């Protein structure tokens, strides 16, 4: 069922497109308009949030009988998925990496931290802040996972394995934003007020991933996204280490290790779905890739820059933290991991979906070169997160070549 929700549809659901991550949704802010049935509602909405564009919202696209598949997977999830959670007593906590406020050495430790971050260039801070804001919008992600039919936590204290996983996953994730937030705060290099405002905006705006309450789509998305987080944090760790902050590098690697564990769990769920329902799963995989994997913070806003996410992701691409190549690598990895090429006994539609997904990494790699050319045409842009200091981003003059459609 397609429902139009107080927003314009900026891309026909039939027009499948993929945009490279760094240029994911370059757009004119003027094109964003909120539509509402009532003028009063429109005024109120504009008071609380900036104009945003979201797709026509499709809900509950999974056939209701498939809910049984997830019920039948309960025991399997208990034994195969919950094992990827770490017991809390063995988990690291943000405080393990931060100056101890109860210690007499607190001020010296803060001084050391500030010395270490001194050599890190501004554009790295833009990427770190963007990552931190992404982590801090965790309420959105838990709400979103609990929108999936058949696996949601129906009560807030449900005892199903799916609900136990989601709550514990959220609890693990919660440490990521906390740690990055405190570290960046203590560094003194960033405008915390602007950052906090951006977090509030982002949680208020939500995200538009087009997963349709459908756990097939949702778990394919989380598999991709956890791997993307693992890769980008790993790259960030390397870069900050080169600039002398070993502690921050350690923090990024430690968070990356959590993301890797989460990736393992989510890819196992999808692997199981391929086993039980190969046709339905390959169709969902193709559907998700045609829609493209938007990053969860794609609606980010700081009260000033209506293209903030594009600018942030362009900086990430230019620094090599998360690039079009990574996008293709992740897809290729998942195709191999789920043995998509070897799927047999598919319907005609399923075969088409399989061939599409298997051919996609190559197509993306061909387009990568264009992205690289664009990223050399660097322009400078101010970021409120770093007191409006300007950094190079990589998107140059490409306004009319925004999205690559295939």
Nearer to Fe ion, 263 or 306 (CB): 263
Binding mask 162-201 for Fe ion (x = CB under 5 A): -----------x--x-------------------------
Instruction: Flag whether 259 is marked binding.
Output: yes
Secondary structure E strands in 7-160: 57-58
Q: Is 136 in the site for Fe ion (CB under 5 A)?
A: no
- Contacts of residue 9, defined as CB under 8 A and 6 or more positions apart, other chains included, come to 55, 56
Instruction: Flag whether 105 is marked binding.
Output: no
Instruction: Flag whether 42 is marked binding.
Output: no
- Which of 24, 83, 39 has the alpha carbon at shortest distance from 207? 24
Q: How far is the CB of 222 from Fe ion (least distance, A)?
A: 8
Instruction: Flag whether 16 is marked binding.
Output: no
Nearer to Fe ion, 7 or 265 (CB): 265
Q: How far is the CB of 105 from Fe ion (least distance, A)?
A: 29
CA distance 141 to 195: 19
> What torsion, rounded to 10 degrees, do the Cα atoms 226, 231, 208, 373 define?
-160
CA distance 218 to 293: 11
Q: Considering only residues 178, 245, 259, 305, which one is a binding residue for Fe ion as defined by CB under 5 A?
A: 259
Residue 254, phi then psi, degrees to nearest 5 = -65, -45
CA distance 114 to 112: 5
Question: For residues 180 and 186, is the Cβ–Cβ distance under 8 A?
Answer: no
Stretch that binds Fe ion, among 94-102, 251-259, 293-301, 338-346 (CB under 5 A): 251-259
Q: How far is the CB of 174 from Fe ion (least distance, A)?
A: 9
**245: β partners:** none
Stretch that binds Fe ion, among 12-20, 42-50, 131-139, 334-342 (CB under 5 A): 131-139
- Contacts of residue 255, defined as CB under 8 A and 6 or more positions apart, other chains included, come to 176, 179, 180, 233
- Number of residues lying near Fe ion (CB under 5 A): 6
Nearer to Fe ion, 176 or 393 (CB): 176
Q: Considering only residues 116, 227, 262, 298, which one is a binding residue for Fe ion as defined by CB under 5 A?
A: 262
Element (H, E) at 176: helix 161-187
Question: For residues 368 and 328, is the Cβ–Cβ distance under 8 A?
Answer: yes
Nearer to Fe ion, 258 or 306 (CB): 258
Instruction: Flag whether 393 is marked binding.
Output: no
Question: For residues 219 and 273, is the Cβ–Cβ distance under 8 A?
Answer: yes
Number of helices (H) and strands (E), helices first, in the chain? 14, 4
Q: How far is the CB of 327 from Fe ion (least distance, A)?
A: 18
Nearer to Fe ion, 262 or 318 (CB): 262
Q: How far is the CB of 135 from Fe ion (least distance, A)?
A: 5
Nearer to Fe ion, 122 or 172 (CB): 172
- Look at the chain and count its residues: 406
Instruction: Flag whether 390 is marked binding.
Output: no
Binding mask 207-246 for Fe ion (x = CB under 5 A): -------------------x--------------------
Give the annotated binding-site residues for Fe cation: 135, 173, 176, 226, 259, 262
Interacting residues toward Fe ion by CB under 5 A: 135, 173, 176, 226, 259, 262
């Amino acid at each position: 069922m397609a429902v139009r929700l107080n927003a314009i549809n900026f891309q026909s659901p039939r027009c499948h497109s993929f945009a490279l991550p760094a240029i994911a949704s370059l757009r004119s802010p003027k094109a964003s308009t909120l539509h509402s049935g009532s003028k009063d509602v429109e005024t109120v909405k504009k008071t609380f949030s900036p104009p945003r564009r979201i797709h026509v919202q499709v809900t509950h696209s999974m056939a209701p009988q498939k809910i049984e598949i997830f019920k039948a997977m309960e025991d399997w999830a208990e034994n195969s998925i919950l094992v990827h959670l770490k017991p809390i007593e063995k988990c690291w906590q943000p405080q393990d990496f931060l100056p101890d406020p109860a210690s007499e050495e607190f001020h010296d430790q803060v001084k050391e931290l500030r010395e270490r971050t001194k050599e890190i260039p501004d554009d790295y801070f833009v990427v770190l802040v963007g990552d931190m804001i992404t982590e801090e919008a965790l309420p959105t992600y838990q709400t979103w996972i609990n929108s999936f039919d058949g696996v949601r936590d129906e009560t807030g204290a449900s005892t199903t394995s799916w609900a136990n996983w989601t709550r514990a996953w959220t609890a693990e994730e919660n440490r990521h934003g906390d740690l990055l937030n405190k570290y960046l705060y203590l560094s003194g290099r960033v405008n915390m007020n602007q950052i906090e405002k951006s977090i509030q905006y982002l949680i208020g705006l939500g995200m538009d991933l087009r997963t349709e309450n459908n756990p097939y789509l949702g778990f394919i998305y989380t598999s991709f996204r956890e791997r993307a987080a693992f890769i980008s944090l790993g790259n960030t760790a390397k870069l900050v280490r080169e600039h002398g902050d070993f502690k921050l590098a350690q923090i990024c690697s430690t968070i990356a290790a959590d993301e890797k564990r989460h990736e393992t769990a989510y890819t196992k769920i999808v692997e199981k779905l391929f086993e039980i329902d190969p046709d339905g799963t390959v169709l969902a995989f193709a559907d998700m890739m045609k829609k493209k994997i938007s990053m969860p913070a794609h609606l980010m806003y700081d009260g000033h820059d209506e293209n903030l996410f594009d600018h942030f992701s362009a900086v990430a691409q230019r620094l090599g933290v998360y690039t079009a190549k990574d996008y293709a690598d992740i897809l290729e990895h998942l195709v191999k991991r789920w043995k998509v090429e070897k799927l047999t006994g598919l319907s005609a539609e399923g075969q088409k979906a399989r061939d599409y997904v298997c051919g996609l990494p190559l197509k993306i790699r061909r387009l990568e070169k264009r992205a690289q050319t664009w990223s050399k045409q660097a322009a400078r842009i101010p970021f409120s997160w770093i007191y409006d200091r300007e950094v190079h981003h990589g998107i140059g003059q490409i306004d009319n070549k925004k999205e690559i459609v295939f």
